[in-house]
Amino acid sequence: MKKKEKYLVSPNIKDKSLITELKGIDENGKKIKSKVINEKSLTIFLNNQEIVTLMSIADHPKYLAIGYLLNQNMLKKSDKISKVEIDKELNVVVVRTKRKTNYENKLKKKITTSGCAIGTVFGDIYDEIKKIKLKTKKKIKHKWIYEISKKITLTPSLYLEAGAIHGCAIIQNNKPLIYMEDVGRHNAVDKIAGYMFLKKISASNKIFYTTGRLTSEMVIKTIKMRIPILISRSGFTAWGVELAKKSDLTLIGRAKGKKYLVLSGEERIEYK
């Protein structure tokens, strides 16, 4: 029997609050029971200011809130977080920092992205991404691409239990370390960003894997986290590829079985 992958954090399929069992009828008219994902609103505050309300499975509200604020440039990596308050009844997370914050003007300039469950990116982030070059010498072996996809596919997950959900993972070489799921892939990314920030996990030698499309939003968040390699079993958007090339991000898509396509940063692939 093969050893199960040991993650620092991974989907908790035993958490009954994440899934509801409903009665339905299949293609043969037979009555069946089916598992479906629970979707909740989660409102994030930064100090005394309401920032956003997301639709999420809300399994890691602390990581999601911190990761969202980091990826939207509202929380700085140098910030000291004094407290994170979670109200499960109101579905609210309040992140409190020692630095005084006010993002009233910034909130007026958000861009709705193609992310599931409505993603957002703020205009100043595009200006920041243009200045980032991922100069790390991190490489990925040809065989790791297949091994990573296989390990993620075999990991017990909410997707395998009920579907209708995206997954994202952080990989060290060919070993998965962190696996997050959510109804929107951008939420899964943000949960990972929040976890890595709080646990002080380095990103420059990691590989990012997502089940979702390689859109501009996914590319931006990966670059912002300073992760040099992004893999997906899904396809690309032209703008996502353009942004990846400008920042020297290795972009690997359509990774299914032993096939894949590289549209940016091919110099990081080792074929031997």
Looking at residue 132, its pLDDT comes to 94
pLDDT per position as a tens digit, 211-260: 999 999 999 999 999 999 999 999 999 999 999 999 999 999 999 989 99
Residues of the chain with pLDDT under 70: 1-4, 108-123
Could you tell me the CATH number of the domain that includes residue 123? Answer: 3.10.20.10
Same domain, residue pair 219 and 106: no
237 within some domain: yes
Looking at residue 3, its pLDDT comes to 55
Looking at residue 134, its pLDDT comes to 96
Q: Which domain holds residue 118?
A: 40-128
Partners of 43 in beta bridges: 53, 92
Distance (Å, whole) CA 38 – CA 161: 12
Q: What share of the chain is helix, strand, coil (3-state, %, to 5)?
A: 30, 35, 35
pTM score, whole prediction? 0.91
Contact 237, 227 (CB under 8 A): no
Contact 147, 174 (CB under 8 A): yes
Distance (Å, whole) CA 53 – CA 129: 25
209 within some domain: yes
Same domain, residue pair 45 and 95: yes
Can you tell me whether residue 262 is helix, strand or coil? strand
Same domain, residue pair 52 and 120: yes
